[in-house]
């Protein structure tokens, strides 16, 4: 791993995956302050405050609109990368973040809750493009090649478990900045939301210093000279001819290959089980309850009976464990395999979701059960980061040939964002209506997905597409 590769990896990850993680968790700490702002503004406009139901609805929309923006961004990113390249697409996405930061940062001064919601949707638009598009090895997703070029592209575009680590770091940074000693006070919440402009500005300033992706230059632009220079810079070696020949071979194969549309993919019976597996795993990843944990951690701990003064520090502790679990998952995925990690992760999340329900029901009689709730939340986060966080992205690439892979990524990515929106929007109402039993829904989802993976999906590590297809058949 050369210094140029490491530096561009950190830059892309800091402004994409880490920013995505930050936006997942940033609305958790200032929830009550934002609700108070909405209520005050509504009272000033209409002469009366918002009832609890409409206020919860407005705040749930603020939280979940991020995912709708992400859905749109993930559908548009292929066009952006093909037209402008990786650097161009990332720079334009960074400009969107500056706009979003301005909306959210000045929302209170201008007395406009709408600006907060618009800002959140724009940050989602950025994350949808960067995390599932610009940060992938190819605009529509593909696996790295062999030899040195595969190493180069993997580190230039963080994917899978590496991407999951930076998402965890983003969540943790939002939890740290949300402490009362930092930006967790009422007067600081607009600044807290608009911190997103810092990584975006850094990316905007430094991206022009790095060459474009060698793969994009050669395959998309047929610029052999530019690709050669970029490889010299990234790999730090003058001998890159083998890598160039590899990419030329892929360019020829892609030019003669007919890409399958989403509709054609869904109607192709030869990959029926592979497609169903992508749907189950990607939907299960978001419906597992992890988004509820990220979006509403403080509310969950408050309902569990944790003293209000201790909640920010408890939340930060779960974030630190999340980062450690992500590192463990990244370091073990190639040794243990995809299947054991994802089955173990979903089983752990299911058991811990049931544990939260039990602890909430018993905490009136046994006050120490509140700490069991915290331990179960930690278990859900650790289980997610060690398996379900990164494995579905790798599996999607490994279950399909290059002709089917772009459409599979569209389906998987769209399901991710739609399910993210669903959980972010309905969880407060689910919690209000079902109480402690709402976590049994997540328990059921996790255990069913684990059972499906155990019965249907084979291990994909070190297997070709033909071997995987034969196992499914």
User: Each residue of 385-438: pLDDT tens digit?
Assistant: 877 877 777 778 788 877 788 888 888 888 989 999 999 899 989 988 888 899
Q: In this predicted structure, what is the pLDDT of residue 149? A: 34
Instruction: Give the span between the Cα atoms of 295 and 285, in whole angstroms.
Output: 15
pLDDT at 161: 55
Q: Which CATH superfamily is domain 259-472 in?
A: MFS general substrate transporter like domains (1.20.1250.20)
- The alpha carbon of 223 is separated from its chain's Cα centroid by a whole number of angstroms, namely 32
φ, ψ (nearest 5 deg) of residue 268: -80, 105
What pLDDT is stored for residue 138 in this prediction? Answer: 32
Task: Name the strand (E) or helix (H) holding 301.
Answer: helix 290-303
Residue 1, pLDDT score:
60
Asked whether the beta carbons of 1 and 112 are under 8 A apart, the reply is no
Q: How many CB atoms lie within 10 A of CB 208?
A: 8
Q: CA-based angle 82:86:87, to the nearest 5? A: 130
pLDDT in tens, 455-470: 988 887 777 777 777 7
- At 295-352, the pLDDT tens digits run 888 888 887 778 888 888 888 888 888 888 878 777 777 677 778 889 999 999 999 9
**pLDDT per residue rounded down to tens, the chain (473 residues):** 677 777 777 788 788 888 988 998 899 889 999 999 999 999 999 888 889 889 999 999 999 999 999 999 888 877 777 777 778 888 888 899 999 999 999 999 999 999 999 999 999 999 887 764 444 333 333 333 333 333 333 333 334 456 777 888 888 999 999 998 999 889 999 999 999 999 999 988 988 888 888 878 887 788 888 888 888 888 877 888 888 888 888 777 777 667 788 888 888 888 888 899 999 999 998 899 888 888 888 888 887 778 888 888 888 888 888 888 878 777 777 677 778 889 999 999 999 999 999 998 888 788 888 889 888 998 998 888 877 877 777 778 788 877 788 888 888 888 989 999 999 899 989 988 888 899 999 999 999 999 999 998 888 777 777 777 778 77
> Which is nearest to 384 in space by CA: 165, 119, 151, 116?
165
Q: Where in the chain is the domain with CATH 1.20.1250.20?
A: 1-210, 259-472
**CATH assignment, 1-210:** 1.20.1250.20
pLDDT more than 70, % of the chain: 92
Q: How far apart are CA 192 and CA 177, in angstroms?
A: 7
Q: Which residues contact 110 (CB under 8 A, 6 or more apart)?
A: none
Q: Which of 263, 281, 257, 227 is nearest to 415 (CA)?
A: 281
* Pairwise CA distance, residues 473 & 467, whole Å: 10
Q: What is the dihedral of CA 3, 319, 346, 298, to 10 degrees?
A: -150
Q: What string of DSSP letters covers 354-387?
A: HHHHHHHHHTTT-TTHHHHHHHHHHHHHHHHHHT
């Amino acid at each position: 791993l050369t210094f140029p590769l490491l530096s561009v990896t950190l830059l892309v990850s800091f402004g994409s995956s880490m920013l995505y993680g930050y936006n997942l968790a940033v609305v958790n700490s200032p929830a009550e302050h934002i609700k108070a702002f909405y209520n005050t503004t509504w009272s000033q406009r209409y002469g009366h405050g918002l009832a609890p139901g409409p206020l919860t609805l407005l705040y749930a929309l603020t939280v979940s609109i991020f995912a709708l923006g992400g859905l749109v961004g993930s559908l548009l990113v292929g066009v952006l990368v093909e037209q402008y390249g990786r650097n161009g697409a990332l720079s334009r996405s960074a400009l969107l973040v500056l706009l979003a930061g301005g909306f959210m940062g000045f929302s209170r001064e201008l007395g406009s809750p709408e600006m907060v919601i618009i800002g959140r949707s724009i940050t989602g638009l950025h994350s949808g493009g960067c995390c599932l598009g610009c940060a992938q090895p190819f605009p529509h997703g593909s696996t790295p090649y062999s030899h040195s070029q595969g190493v180069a592209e993997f580190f230039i575009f963080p994917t899978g478990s590496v991407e999951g680590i930076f998402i965890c770091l983003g969540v943790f940074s939002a939890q740290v900045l949300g402490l009362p000693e930092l930006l967790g006070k009422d007067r600081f919440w607009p600044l807290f939301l608009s911190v997103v402009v810092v990584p975006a500005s850094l990316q905007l300033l430094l991206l022009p210093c790095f060459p474009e992706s060698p793969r994009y230059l050669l395959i998309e632009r047929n610029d052999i000279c530019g690709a050669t220079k970029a490889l010299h810079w990234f790999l730090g070696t003058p001998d890159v001819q083998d890598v160039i020949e590899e990419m030329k071979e892929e360019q020829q194969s892609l030019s003669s290959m007919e890409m399958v549309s989403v509709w054609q993919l869904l109607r192709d019976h030869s990959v029926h089980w592979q497609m169903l597996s992508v749907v189950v795993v990607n939907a299960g990843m978001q419906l597992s309850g992890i988004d509820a944990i990220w979006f509403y951690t403080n509310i969950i701990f408050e309902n569990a009976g944790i003293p209000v003064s201790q909640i920010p520090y408890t939340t930060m502790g779960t974030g630190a464990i999340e980062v450690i679990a992500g590192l463990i998952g990244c370091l073990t995925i190639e040794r243990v395999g995809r299947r054991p990690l994802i089955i173990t992760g979903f089983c752990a999340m299911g058991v811990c979701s049931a544990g939260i329900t039990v602890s909430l029901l018993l905490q009136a009689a046994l006050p120490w059960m509140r700490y069991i709730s915290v331990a179960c939340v930690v278990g859900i986060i650790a289980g997610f980061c060690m398996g379900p966080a990164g494995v579905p992205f790798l599996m999607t690439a490994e279950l399909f040939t290059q002709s089917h892979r772009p459409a599979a990524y569209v389906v998987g990515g769209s399901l991710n964002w739609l399910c993210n929106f669903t959980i972010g929007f309905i969880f407060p109402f689910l919690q209000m209506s079902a109480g402690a039993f709402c976590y049994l829904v997540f328990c059921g989802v996790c255990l069913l997905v684990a059972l499906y993976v155990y019965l249907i999906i084979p291990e994909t590590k070190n297997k070709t597409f033909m071997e995987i297809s034969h196992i499914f058949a």
